[in-house]
């Protein structure tokens, strides 16, 4: 990875893919029990090159090219976990996680509970997800809500290289299973990354959230715009355009989906009285619905407008020529901002 | 090659036939040569106590004390024989009917009923007994077993030559499970990683109501050829043969040679569970054929023929079965419902804000009733 060190700020310019790679390397150097498992993650470095160079430096025993069987990857990682190994499993694309859905939801998520705490499974499942890259079927989806509905799992999704670098290390260190959703369209976005000890940057919420909770990505006073992973950049661009039109938008980047840092969202909602939530996933029964419900339950009398959702439609992910209209875009987000401002 | 079909009894490894006569096998008889009369009496003891306890659990379910019961009735030889081949460093991944194996691993049998009384989902510490929790999603645990075996290999607990250190995993599952993708994936991962694991398939001929002929048209053991692993088809009602082949397989796996597949052909003499009704899908004649092949009866016949089963011993074992039954009854009836808030325990190893908030709300909600009662 071609990271650029910046001596003036003590940070390094990295892509998100490079930041995850660096975070994995740091975790592997710290703990010999950390293993990487997945398809094509060895000599190839993964189809997105996120594990580039790790096989060369850590060898076959630590960076394992597995058989092409997702249930097998997660299932054997559970067994290895029972012997103290912290496997980081790469699912090549989110659309291929479903052969492992049984292992993740009926086994991994429940083992600590059903063993009454005797078995902890500190696994991480890395999932490149979401669209915007012109891909074919099964390569652009956002299935995070399916996992957020499952007790026993933690779900994290970074929107910046810094959060990717910190988040992957926190996920590996966590004693609970973590699904780490990586917005693949953001893999090559660059940002400044402080590679000092991750512990120094943990938010106060980390004590109850497990890993970093929500962050205010941009402060504002009129509308709270909640986003995560792939839609954070869109939310920030929307806020910028709204500001030019005289509307002050506060952008919340959730980062953690399970648990959901509702305190941060509710605090902002009480301040602005207007909430819009945007994600790429199908809107029905999605994360935005949960955010909306919590805001309604906890900040109802502060609201000036109904909470609006901007997300994918109730269709299978369409062919790539449709994705600009299918996915939340500036027009649809700003339309929702206008609608809540009319109240 | 002639297709023998999944229920063929031709070519099964058998060292004690159902008339109680000892047979010789060039490969496996040496693995039974250490079985002294005393050890065989121990097998007979365990199988008999297990069966008596199983019947007690059945009665408790019929009396409404358990929500469900899953009998091991008929499979005592496969479970006790293989279980006695295990050593301390070995680790077992059972499905949910392996009460006999649990017994050989020192799990207190009555504690198993906590699961079936709805108190919890797992009643023992797997690490303490080298015996994982039961898994109800068919075949899912085979991948855990394979990963665990891969971990033992990484940890240097295979092929070191130190008998106190080298171990292997035994994964139990049934004939129905062999149709699951997870079993196929387990065999793939185990073979390419040369994992120290014995896949022990108890072919009890039924997946609830479906005959094994709905799962395969060849003997299940033959499937292992596709993964290049040795396989053995054994008479699952012959405790001596089950012991010998498992001993062979464990030595093979502990020495770092990779996985082995054992198919033990047995018969589920009871129902699938207490919710099942086998009269709807199998004949009396079929049941009677297998009653003649009862795993305990044939060992009784053999030990009787050699004069090694005294009346005193039989009575002592019967008494032990009764005492265990009484202790089980007493335990089950004495278990009270745990505090409601315990249902929130152990979902996560670290605090989770959603769960904490729900638990706190529910605690206040419950307390509100107590407050009202206190006022009245």
What's the pLDDT tens digit per position in A229-283?
Answer: 999 999 999 999 999 999 999 999 999 999 999 999 999 999 999 999 999 999 9
**C-alpha to C-alpha distance for B299 and A272, rounded to whole angstroms:** 80
- The enclosing domain of B315 has a CATH number of 3.40.50.970
Distance linking the first and last C-alpha atoms of chain B: 82
Does residue A207 carry a pLDDT above 70? no
> Which pLDDT band, with edges at 50, 70 and 90, does B376 fall under?
confident
Catalytic residue among A55, A112, A139, A279: A139
Taking the Cβ of residue B374 and every Cβ of chain A, the question of whether any pair is shorter than 8 Å is answered with no
pLDDT given for residue A206 in this prediction: 56
pLDDT of B65 > 70? The answer is: yes
pLDDT for A232? 98
Nearest residue to A80 (alpha-carbon basis) of A27, A44, A35: A35
pLDDT at residue B1 is higher than 50 = no
Task: Give the ipTM.
Answer: 0.96
Instruction: Say yes or no for a CB contact (<8 Å) between B137 and A260.
Output: no
Which residue would you say has higher pLDDT here, A204 or B203?
A: B203
pLDDT at residue A1 in the model: 47
Average pLDDT in the A52-66 region? 98
CA distance A182 to chain B (A): 22
- The pLDDT confidence band at residue A7, using thresholds 50, 70 and 90, is low
Domain A13-201 and domain A215-341, same fold? Reply is: yes
Active-site residue, from B97, B268, B293, B298? B268
* Model confidence at B3: pLDDT above 60: no
Q: Are residues B354 and B292 in the same domain?
A: no
- Residues B267, B119 share a domain: yes
Domain that holds residue B344: 340-375
pTM of the predicted model over 0.90 = yes
Are B185 and A120 an interchain contact pair (Cβ–Cβ within 8 Å)? no
Query: Are B348 and A106 in contact (CB < 8 Å)?
Result: no
- CB of B338 less than 8 A from some CB of A: no
Identified catalytic residue from B62, B281, B289, B364: B281
Q: Is B201 a member of any domain?
A: yes
**pLDDT-derived band at A199, boundaries 50, 70, 90:** confident
Residue A5: per-residue pLDDT = 72
pLDDT digits (tens, 9 = 90+) for B112-164: 999 999 999 999 999 999 999 999 999 999 999 999 999 999 999 999 999 89
Assess if residue B171 is contained within a domain.
yes
Q: Are residues B41 and B113 in the same domain?
A: yes
Is B213 in the same domain as B345? no
Using an 8 Å CB-CB cutoff, list chain B residues near A262.
353
Question: H helices within A39-143, ranges in order?
Answer: 54-58, 70-82, 101-102, 111-114
Both B119 and B227 in one domain: the answer is: yes
B111, B124, B335: which is closest to A116 by C-alpha?
B124
Residue A200 has pLDDT above 90, yes or no: no
Nearest Cα of chain B lies from the Cα of A209 at a distance, in angstroms, of 6
Q: Do B186 and B254 lie in a common domain? A: yes
Q: Are B163 and B43 within one domain?
A: yes
Residue holding tokens 């899953």?
B70
User: CB-based burial of residue B26 (10 Å sphere; 0-12 exposed, 13-18 middle, 19+ buried)?
Assistant: exposed
Classify the C-alpha dihedral B318-B323-B326-B332 as positive or negative. Answer: negative
b/e code A216-249 from CB counts within 10 Å (16+ = b) = ebbebebbbbbbbbbbbbbbbebbeebeeeebeb
User: Is-catalytic flag, B272?
Assistant: yes
The answer as to whether B6 is a domain residue is no
Which structure tokens are listed for A163?
């959060």
Assess B151–A contact: CB distance below 8 Å, yes or no: yes
Q: Does A72 sit within 8 Å of B182, measured CB to CB?
A: yes
Residues B187, B59 share a domain = yes
**pLDDT average, residue stretch B75-89:** 98
Q: Tell me if chain A has a CB within 8 Å of the CB of B230.
A: no
What is the average per-residue pLDDT within A55-67? 98
The answer to whether B343 contacts chain A (CB < 8 Å) is: no
CATH of domain A13-201: 3.40.50.970
Q: Which of B99, B272, B293, B298 is catalytic?
A: B272
CB B241 within 8 A of CB B14: yes
With bands split at pLDDT 50, 70 and 90, how would you rate the model's confidence at A202? low
Same domain, B292 and B319: yes
* CA dihedral of residues B46, B47, B50, B55 (deg, nearest 10): -150
Could you tell me if B197 and B217 lie in one domain? yes
Same-domain pairing of B169 and B308 = yes
pLDDT at position A196 is 84
Residue at B49 is within a domain: yes
Among the ranges given (A9-13, A52-56, A316-320, B33-37), the one the predictor scored with the smallest mean pLDDT? A9-13
* Cβ contact A79–B349 (<8 Å): no
Residue A34: which of A88, A74, A75, A104 has the closest Cα?
A88
H or E stretch covering A190: strand A190-193
- Put simply, the answer to whether B147 touches A75 (Cβ < 8 Å) is yes
Q: Token pair of A301, please?
A: 């009398």
Cβ contact A237:A330 at 8 Å: yes
- Partner-chain residue, chosen from A99, A176, A209, that has the shortest CB–CB distance to B353: A209
Minimum CA–CA partner of B186 in chain A: A72
A302 is catalytic: no
Q: How many CB atoms sit inside 10 A of residue B71's CB?
A: 22
Question: Considering only CB atoms, which chain A residues are within 8 Å of B151?
Answer: 79-80, 82-85
Name the B residues in 109-148 with CB < 8 Å from any A CB: 120-122, 125-127, 132-133, 135, 137, 140-148
pLDDT band of residue A204 (cuts 50, 70, 90) is: low
The pLDDT score that the predictor gives to residue A208 is: 46
d(CA B146, CA A79): 7
Number of domains in chain B: 2
Residue B148 lies in a domain: yes
Q: What pLDDT, on a 0 to 100 scale, did the predictor assign at position A171?
A: 94
Q: What integer pLDDT is reported at residue A290 of this predicted model?
A: 98
Burial of A57 (0-12, 13-18, 19+ CB in 10 A): exposed
Residue B372's pLDDT is what? 85
Chain A closest CA to B257's CA: distance in Å?
A: 18
Q: Do B351 and A207 touch (CB under 8 A)?
A: yes
Residues B217 and B300 in one domain: yes
Q: What is the CATH number of domain A215-341?
A: 3.40.50.920
Q: Given phi > 0 = left and psi -120 to 50 = alpha, else beta, which region is A38? A: left
CB spacing of B352 vs A261 below 8 angstroms = no
* CA-based nearest residue to A51, from A33, A84, A11, A24: A24
Q: Using CB atoms, pick whichever of B135, B347, B356 lies closest to residue A152.
A: B347
Q: Is the CB of B147 less than 8 angstroms away from the CB of A106?
A: no
Percent of chain A with pLDDT over 70: 95
The number of C-beta contacts closer than 8 angstroms across A and B is 149
Helix, strand, or coil here: B328?
Answer: helix
Query: Looking at residues B63-82, what average pLDDT do you find?
Result: 97
Residue B319 lies in a domain: yes
The residue ranges of every structural domain in chain A are 13-201, 215-341
B267 within domain boundaries:
yes
């Amino acid at each position: 990875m071609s990271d650029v060190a910046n001596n003036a700020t003590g940070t390094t310019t990295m892509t998100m893919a490079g930041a995850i790679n660096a975070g994995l390397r740091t975790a592997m150097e710290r703990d010999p029990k950390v293993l990487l498992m997945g398809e094509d993650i060895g000599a190839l470095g993964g189809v997105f090159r996120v594990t580039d160079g790790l096989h060369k430096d850590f060898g076959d025993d630590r960076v394992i090219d597995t058989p092409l069987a997702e249930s097998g990857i997660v299932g054997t990682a559970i067994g290895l976990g029972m012997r103290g190994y912290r496997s980081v499993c790469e699912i090549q694309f989110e659309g291929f996680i479903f052969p492992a859905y049984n292992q993740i939801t009926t086994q991994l998520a429940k083992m600590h509970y059903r063993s009454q705490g005797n078995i902890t499974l500190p696994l991480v499942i890395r999932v490149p997800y979401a669209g915007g890259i012109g891909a074919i079927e099964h390569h652009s989806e956002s299935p995070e809500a399916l996992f957020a509905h499952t007790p026993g799992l933690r779900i994290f999704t970074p929107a910046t290289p810094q959060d990717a670098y910190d988040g992957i290390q926190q996920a590996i260190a966590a004693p609970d299973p973590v699904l780490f959703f990586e917005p693949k369209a953001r893999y090559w976005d660059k940002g400044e990354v402080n590679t000092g000890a991750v512990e120094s940057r943990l938010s106060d919420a980390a004590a109850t959230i497990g890993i970093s909770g929500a962050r205010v990505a941009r402060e504002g006073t009129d509308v709270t715009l909640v986003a995560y992973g792939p839609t954070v950049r869109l939310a920030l661009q929307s806020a910028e355009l709204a500001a030019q039109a005289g509307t002050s938008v506060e952008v919340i980047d959730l980062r953690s989906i399970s648990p959901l840092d509702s305190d941060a969202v509710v605090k902002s909602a009480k301040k602005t009285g207007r909430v819009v939530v945007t994600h790429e996933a199908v809107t029905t029964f999605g994360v935005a619905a949960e955010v909306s419900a919590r805001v309604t339950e906890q900040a109802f009398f502060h609201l000036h407008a109904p909470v609006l959702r901007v997300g994918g439609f109730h269709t299978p992910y369409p062919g790539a020529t449709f994705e600009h209209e299918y996915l939340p875009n500036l027009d649809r987000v700003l339309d929702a901002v206008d609608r809540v401002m009319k109240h | 090659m002639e297709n023998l079909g999944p229920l063929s009894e031709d070519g099964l490894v058998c060292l004690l036939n159902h008339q109680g006569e000892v047979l010789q096998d060039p490969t496996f008889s040496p693995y039974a040569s250490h079985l002294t009369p005393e050890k065989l009496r121990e097998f007979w003891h365990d199988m008999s106590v297990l069966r008596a306890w199983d019947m007690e659990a059945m009665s408790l379910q019929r009396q409404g004390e358990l929500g469900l019961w899953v009998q091991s009735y008929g499979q005592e030889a496969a479970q006790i024989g293989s279980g006695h081949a295990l050593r301390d460093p070995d680790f077992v991944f059972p499905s949910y009917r392996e009460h006999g194996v649990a017994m050989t691993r020192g799990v207190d049998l009555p504690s198993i009923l906590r699961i079936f009384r709805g108190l919890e989902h797992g009643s023992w510490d797997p690490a303490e007994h080298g015996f994982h929790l039961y898994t109800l999603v068919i075949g899912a645990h085979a991948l855990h077993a394979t990963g665990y075996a891969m971990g033992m290999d990484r940890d240097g607990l295979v092929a070191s030559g130190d008998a106190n250190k080298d171990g292997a995993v035994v994964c139990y599952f049934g004939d129905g499970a062999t149709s699951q993708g997870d079993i196929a994936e387990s065999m793939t991962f185990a073979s390419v990683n040369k994992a120290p694991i014995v896949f022990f398939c108890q072919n009890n001929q039924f997946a609830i109501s479906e005959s094994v002929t709905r799962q395969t048209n060849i003997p299940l053991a033959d499937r292992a050829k596709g993964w290049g692993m040795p396989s053995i088809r054994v008479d699952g009602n012959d405790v001596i043969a089950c012991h010998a082949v498992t001993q062979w397989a464990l030595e093979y796996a502990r020495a770092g040679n990779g996985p082995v597949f054992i198919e033990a052909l047995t018969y589920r003499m009871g129902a699938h569970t207490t919710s099942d009704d086998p009269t709807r899908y199998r004949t009396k004649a079929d049941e009677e054929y297998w009653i003649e092949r009862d795993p305990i009866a044939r060992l009784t016949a053999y030990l009787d023929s050699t004069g090694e089963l005294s009346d005193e011993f039989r009575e002592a074992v019967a008494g032990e079965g009764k005492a265990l039954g009484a202790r089980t009854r007493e335990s089950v009836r004495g278990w009270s419902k745990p505090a409601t808030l315990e249902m929130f325990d152990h979902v996560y190893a670290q605090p989770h804000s959603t769960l904490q908030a729900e638990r706190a709300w529910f605690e206040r909600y419950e307390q509100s009733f107590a407050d009202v009662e206190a006022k009245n």
